[in-house]
Chain A
Amino acid sequence: MTGLVIIGASYAGVQAALTARDAGYSQPITIVCDEGWLPYQRPPLSKDFLLGRISEQNLILRDEAFFEGKQINLVLGQRATLLDLRARQVTLAGDNALEFEKLLIATGSRARRIAVEGADFDGVCYLRSVTDAVDLKARLTDAAEIVIVGGGFIGLEVAASAAKLGKKVTVVEASSRLLERAVSPVLSTFLLDTHLRAGVDVMLDETVASFKGNDRKVSAVVLDNGAVVHADLVLVGIGGVANDEIARSAGLRCTNGNVVDEHGQCETSDIFAAGDCANHFNRFCESWVRLESVQNAQDQAKAAGLAIAGARAPYENVPRSWSDQYDVKLQIVGLAGQYDRQAVRGCVDGGRFSVFYYRQGRLVAVDSVNRPGEQMAARRLIAAGISPAPEQAADPSFDLKSLVTAGDKAGA
């Protein structure tokens, strides 16, 4: 038994392989992936790709030359079906098997399916992979009326793209505000106004009862209140689910994803997990979190790759993410969670502002809209554990970077 086997070839899987190799891991590395594509960029799928601003070819993140150069063996289009920890073996569909010395699980997450009548109709779509995106893009060309189920990141980004393409768009959201789990009411209201101005119809506090169809092709969405919304295309974006089945069936501890330590290591030695499928304790969030973001996938995979190579540096980064909708660039650092105080900096009506969130006097998260410089400063403040007073945060004339610089000097 020799070498590293990685299940999954997206951001986490590829980054872990690269980091392990660069850190001196000299054994064979094999990445196996059920998708047939070279590793590709996912964030543009809901935005520039749907708008035709980036080609399928330019989605590619790493090509064959990269894997050859790093001596990483890439096995595409083969699903890992079984993991045997005792035999140290991964079985692939078709009964091929890979033996390993060390294993990294980077199986990611999948779109949560909606369970209502008519959910299997043609035209009820999800967006996760490039295959989904190619299908959605083709369907968008022909569609006139689109219903988006779920006012989260995927739903709102697709809503913005579809509205830009001139489609009639309706967003149905079960909670009382958009992006409820990710941002504060100030942001939710701002985004609601932005979508309404773009002509998108947003229905809050509404849930889907069923889909209607003709010849098993979706034609309308029926809400719980009895209302019927015409739709020739439906995009469901109601969250993600960890792909942790293979780990579970192997007996690895999973609670909403593979439970891992700060090195991405599972409770079983030599077994690691990273990215959307992993659940770690994040000291900045003061809680166990399973994050679905490029930053988390890459940074956690770096820690795992280092540990695999025997050079350890823990994963302890502040979570960060972003979303682009119309001309709104939303950037997020930290998880606001149960904040007890907020400070707004800048002009909400003018569409350029940041919201600072505090918990027990400590700055825990900052959302920025079209304020990239402020967001960068906030990221460094939170990472350094520096909290400006809420009054300072709300004062546009107060230089946040001066605190960062002061912190750098104090730490030097």
Chain B
Amino acid sequence: MPRVRFVQQDGSGKSIEVGRDVSVMLAAVRNGIHGIDGECGGCLDCATCHVYVDEEQASSVPQPSEEELELLSAVSGERKPNSRLSCQLKVPAPLDELVVHVPARQS
């Protein structure tokens, strides 16, 4: 089973198993990862699941849609080139572990 590692602001991390068809956001919520709210359940309405994809892996995930980019343009935490909404992210094959960093705030 592929995994996602969530790294918090203080550097602490937690790695959890996630199916390739389950979003990183849902995996976070189901496992109680601090700092990822995912209020809207993944329909691109709330921007409360902002994460930074690890820089070394940024090119491994598909590019964000125009709609996601529009939401990302106004996230509450710092916007970076590797900012993504985790509801739109899945662990892409052949990656075994996707590493994402949780921002300081979501709203």
Task: Tell me the A3-33 residues at the B interface (CB within 8 Å).
Answer: 18, 22
B39 — which chain A residues lie within 8 A by C-beta?
A: 294-295, 298
Are A373 and B71 touching (Cβ within 8 A)? yes
**Docked pose: A317 CA to B70 CA in angstroms:** 23
Assuming the contacts A66-B31, A69-B32, asked whether A298 and B75 have C-beta atoms less than 8 A apart, the reply is no
User: Closest CB-CB distance, B17 to chain A, in whole Å?
Assistant: 10
CA–CA, A191 and B55, complex, Å: 42
- How many residues on A have C-beta within 8 angstroms of the other chain's C-beta atoms? 34
Instruction: State which residues 61-86 of B face A: CB under 8 Å.
Output: 67, 70-71, 73-76
Say whether A61 contacts B29, CB under 8 Å.
yes
Residue A377 lies at the interface, judged by CB distance under 8 Å to chain B: yes
Asked if A70 and B32 make an inter-chain contact with CB atoms under 8 angstroms apart, the answer reads yes
Most chain A CB within a 10 A radius of its CB, from B34, B44, B74, B76: B74
Q: Contact: B32 with A331, CB < 8 Å?
A: no
Q: For the complex, what is the distance from the CA of A137 to the CA of B26, rounded to whole Å?
A: 24
A41 within 8 A of B: yes
**Contact indicator B74/A377 (Cβ below 8 Å):** yes
How far does the Cβ of A100 sit from chain B's closest Cβ, in whole Å?
A: 22
B40/A294 in contact, CB under 8 A: yes
Q: A65-B31, A66-B32 are in contact. Are A376 and B40 (CB under 8 A)?
A: no
Hey, what's the 0/1 contact readout for B34-72 against A, CB within 8 Å counting as 1? 100101110111110000000000000000000100110
- Contact of A407 with B by CB under 8 A: no
Most buried by B among A60, A62, A294, A377: A294
Please encode chain A, from 317 to 358, with 1 for each CB lying within 8 Å of some chain B CB and 0 for all others: 100101010000101000000000000000000000000000
Task: Determine if A376 and B71 form an interchain contact, defined as CB atoms under 8 angstroms apart.
Answer: yes
We find that the number of chain B residues with CB closer than 8 angstroms to chain A is 24
Residues of the A chain whose Cβ atoms lie less than 8 Å from the Cβ of B9? none
A44 cross-chain contacts in B, Cβ below 8 A: 41, 43
- Minimum distance in angstroms from A18 CB to a CB of chain B: 5
In B21-35, the 8 Å CB interface with A consists of 22, 26, 29-32, 34
A298 to chain B minimum Cβ distance, whole angstroms, is 6
Q: Is the CB of A62 within 8 A of B32?
A: yes
In Å, the complex CA distance between A65 and B17 comes to 12
Which B residues are within 8 Å of any A CB, using their own CB? 22, 26, 29-32, 34, 37, 39-41, 43-47, 67, 70-71, 73-76, 107
Listed by A's residue number, 19 A-B pairs whose Cβ atoms lie within 8 Å are A22-B34, A41-B41, A47-B43, A58-B22, A60-B30, A61-B30, A62-B30, A63-B30, A66-B31, A295-B46, A324-B43, A324-B45, A329-B45, A372-B74, A373-B71, A375-B74, A376-B47, A376-B75, A401-B74
Report which A residues bind B (CB closer than 8 A). Answer: 18, 22, 41, 43-44, 47-48, 58, 60-63, 65-66, 69-70, 294-295, 298, 317, 320, 322, 324, 329, 331, 372-373, 375-377, 379-380, 401, 404
Closest 7 pairs between A and B when the two form their complex, measured CB to CB: A376-B74, A322-B45, A373-B70, A41-B41, A372-B71, A373-B73, A377-B74
